[in-house]
Amino acid sequence: MLCLATKASYNDTSVEGAVPSFDDKEWDILLRYTPRVQELTLEHDQLSMKILQSLWFRTVLLLPNLRKLRWMYENYTAIGSIRLLLSPSLAHLHVWLDGGDHSAVLGLLESYHTLCPDLKSLYFGHLCRFPHVTAAISRAICRSPNVEILNCDPIDEAALIYIADSRCLTKFSANLHTHQPDSLRKIAGYSTPDHPPFENLRILELRVEDISSIIPYLKSQHQPLEEVSFDFRMLPTPEVFYELFTALSSATRRRTLRRVRLQSLGLIADGIFPEPVNFQVLSPLMTFHLDTLKININNPVSLNDDELDRLVQAWPELEAFSFNQYYEWNDNDRTSFQILTLKGLLLLLARCPKLHDLGLCVDARNVPSLMENESSLRNTAITKLSVVNSLIQEPVASVAHFLLEHLPSLTVLTAWTSFGARSRSSQDYRRMWKEVDLQIRKIHGRDSSPETSDSEMEMV
């Protein structure tokens, strides 16, 4: 893999700061190694331009075996030069298109498929500042009908309908924020019993305004999805989440779905207290055999220890688990929802021995007395634990000892303090969890500076 990254000294666009093309000797050296390169990343710097400028005057193919090209385009680099790197050997193309010369961008979008006709994965990224570029991307992605992995930012409804007809697509990731709520419902209307939309899709990643807009599609279609990931802006009610999880749990998906991710985008307005998501809302997920469950939403997740135990007993293969890893509402109304205790953490470790990625809100104010079988529980795979802005009280040494007793490989503890949680109690929790983190680091011989600890202990 060859990566040409940005260096500050190359950001000078003056004549004096320009990097000259390779001379013959340099070119010969380059040719000695480049046939081995199968992956290339080009950043927006003049070192990248040095290679591209040299290509204009050479007849020898520089990268004959290139399979994956990642082009991070900004104003320093003329995107027209990317054509020099496109060839039939390319299977994966990742291009950032925001800003710069629109005529060159449009030219690339109209012709890329003729230069690399055998693409298997395609990504076009942009910030949607220019509607005609968005429209051009929508047309461009329809020119590669055999793509198996497609990742694109906002596309129009016509392109979405076209993509849904693909029998090759196995992973689809897109931003549908600008779509009408019934866009996905319309897709179902174009299907037939022999040819449903996204017929062979296994991974679905969507960014939408309202997560409820996905539910009608999930109810009407039953592809054997393996992974779903939904980002959304509007604040759902618990009833919407329950309907979503129920729609996911079709008979087909119960056998295949392994990974579920939900992510709220944006912050809650002051004075709004979302309704908690409880065990009943989450219970449809128990029909799956999950190895990953990450629910990071603006609604509190309300579970006591016994409910968590009942929930995760359905997922003995669980490897990654987080509930609201970057959110907290402890200062809003702690009496309106339940929080797991350290005993619940042990129940989780017992049910899911393969866990290696963990983040959740926990009440650590009381270190429990344990039975002999509980005292022996160990998970050596978890090295980093996120406990949000969890509850804790002095003395904190007992908490540090408890965590290291059951998570002996733990080296980093993060206790995020979210936006809007700047009360005295939140700051006290943060200070105490920081002390727990420092004690864990000392035990492992990894003392850190206050600056490092602060950056790791707080999300800003």
449-458: average pLDDT? 44
Would the pLDDT of 19 be above 60? no
Residue 445: is its pLDDT beyond 60?
yes
Q: At 126, is the pLDDT very low, low, confident or very high (cuts 50, 70, 90)? A: confident
Tell me the pairing of strands 2-4 and 259-264.
unpaired
Q: Are residues 331 and 406 in the same domain?
A: yes
Answer yes or no: is pLDDT of 15 > 50: no
Domain that holds residue 74: 1-103+119-126
User: What's the pLDDT tens digit per position in 185-201?
Assistant: 777 777 677 778 898 99
Q: Residue 330 above 70 pLDDT?
A: no
Helix (H/G/I), strand (E/B), else coil: 95: strand
Cα dihedral 93, 99, 100, 106 in deg (nearest 10): 60
Question: Higher-confidence residue: 152 or 58?
Answer: 152
Q: Is the pLDDT of residue 212 over 90?
A: yes
Asked if the structure places residue 444 within a domain, the reply is: yes
Q: Where are the alpha helices (DSSP H) in 141-289?
A: 157-164, 183-189, 215-220, 238-248, 251-254, 279-282
Is there a single domain that holds both residue 200 and residue 72? Answer: no
Q: Are 85 and 63 in contact (CB under 8 A)?
A: yes
Cβ within 8 Å of residue 285, ≥6 positions away: 245, 248, 249, 260, 293, 311, 314
Res 52: pLDDT = 66
- Residue 287, Cβ neighbours under 10 Å: how many? 18
Residue-wise pLDDT tens digits, 362-375: 999 999 888 777 78
Q: How far apart are CA 121 and CA 225, in angstroms?
A: 18
Q: Are residues 241 and 309 in the same domain?
A: no
- What does the pLDDT read at residue 235? 92
Q: Are residues 294 and 306 in the same domain?
A: no
Residue 151 lies in a domain: no
- More confident site: 20 or 451: 20
pLDDT confidence of residue 44:
58
Residues 357 and 219 in one domain: no
Mean pLDDT of the chain: 82
Tell me: do 17 and 81 sit in the same domain: yes
The two tokens of residue 445 are 């011989």
Are 419 and 318 in the same domain?
yes
Q: Is 276 exposed, middle or buried (0-12, 13-18, 19+ CB in 10 A)?
A: middle
Q: How is residue 103 written in tokens?
A: 């005529």
- Bigger pLDDT: 327 vs 63: 63
The answer to the question of residue 143 being in a domain is: no
pLDDT of residue 13: 41
| CA–CA separation, 360 and 301 (whole Å) | 10
Q: Is residue 139 part of a domain?
A: no
**Which pLDDT score, from 0 to 100, does residue 20 have?**
63
Q: Which of the four pLDDT bands, split at 50, 70 and 90, describes residue 87?
A: confident
- Give the per-residue pLDDT at 428: 83
pLDDT surpasses 90 at 83: no
Whether 392 is in a domain gets the answer: yes
Instruction: Judge if 273 and 390 occupy the same domain.
Output: no
Q: What does the pLDDT average to over 114-143?
A: 90
User: Taking residues 236-250, what's their average pLDDT?
Assistant: 95
Q: How many residues does the chain have?
A: 460
The answer, yes or no, to whether residue 232 has pLDDT greater than 50, is yes
Q: What is the pTM of this model?
A: 0.85
| Domain presence at residue 314 | yes
> 450 or 224: which carries more pLDDT confidence?
224
Q: What is the CATH number of the domain that holds 215?
A: 3.80.10
Same domain, 177 and 242: yes
Asked whether residue 66 is assigned to any structural domain, the reply reads: yes
Q: Examine the domain organization and report whether 311 and 443 are in the same domain.
A: yes
H-state helical runs in 352-408: 372-375, 397-406
Pick left, alpha or beta for residue 311 (phi over 0 → left; psi -120 to 50 → alpha; otherwise beta): alpha
pLDDT, tens digit (0-9, with 9 covering 90-100), for 261-300? 999 987 777 777 888 999 999 999 999 999 999 999 989 8
For residue 391, what pLDDT is reported?
Answer: 87
Q: How far apart are CA 457 and CA 413, in angstroms?
A: 8
Both structure tokens of 239: 């009833």
Which of the pair, 275 or 77, is modelled with greater confidence? 275
Q: pLDDT for 391-442, tens place per residue?
A: 899 889 999 999 999 999 999 898 865 554 556 677 788 889 999 999 998 8
Question: What percentage of the chain exceeds 70 in pLDDT?
Answer: 79
Asked if residue 149 belongs to a domain, the reply is no
Looking at the DSSP bridge assignments, the partners of residue 122 are 93, 150
Which residue type, as a one-letter code, is found at position 80?
A: G
Give dist(CA 12, CA 205) in Å, integer: 38
Q: Say whether both 314 and 254 belong to one domain.
A: no
pLDDT at 143 over 90: yes
Same domain, yes or no, for 285 and 204? Answer: yes
Backbone φ and ψ for 262, nearest 5 degrees, come out as -125, 135
Q: How many folded domains does the chain comprise?
A: 3
Does the structure show a pLDDT above 70 at 180? no
